[in-house]
Structure 1
Amino acid sequence: MARITIEDCLKQVPSRFRLVHLAAQRGRLLMKGAPALVKTGNKAVVTALREVAAGEVRVAPTGKKGKRGG
């Protein structure tokens, strides 16, 4: 299977920071037993990145705008 690149994933997720967060969250779900959305024999995080690149996993909008603060 071809290597997955960050550029492949950034076509689906516009921010590298969001991409890292999304891949980590999805990787944790896969390690807990969630079914993979793409066929792969890779580790959980690589599978998560493949899912992102394929457009199977997306970032949910939070509705928040602006800076964090309190």
Structure 2
Amino acid sequence: MARVTVEDCLDKINNRFALVILVSKRAKQLLKGVTPTVLAKNNKYVVTALREVASGHVNLDIDSSMGTAEQQVESDLNR
């Protein structure tokens, strides 16, 4: 895969917004030193995270205890 795009990842994660959140969280993990699951030659962390999603190594795990988006935003605002 010479060039990875968001469209490549939408086959794995149907929701574009969930994909952005997933990739940003994974990129932060990579920044903190987590070992990438795909070969990463001088790629930026976001590109590596997109490659991991496109290859199926990183998936979105929806936890039923998370609640609705409104509840999440409200709890974040109250911190």
TM-score clears 0.5: yes
For residues 25 and 38 of structure 2, what CA distance do their matches in structure 1 show? 16
Instruction: Say which structure is richer in helix.
Output: 2
Point out the structure with max Rg over C-alpha: 2
Structure 1 gap segments, 5+ residues each: none
How much is the aligned-residue C-alpha RMSD, in angstroms?
1.7
With structure 1 as the length reference, what TM-score do the two structures score?
0.88
Structure 1 stretches of 4+ moved >2 Å: 64-70
For residues 69 and 37 of structure 2, what CA distance do their matches in structure 1 show? 33
With structure 2 as the length reference, what TM-score do the two structures score?
0.79
Number of equivalenced pairs = 70
For residues 47 and 69 of structure 2, what CA distance do their matches in structure 1 show? 31
Structure 2 gap segments, 5+ residues each: 75-79
Deviation of the 1:40 alpha carbon: 1.8
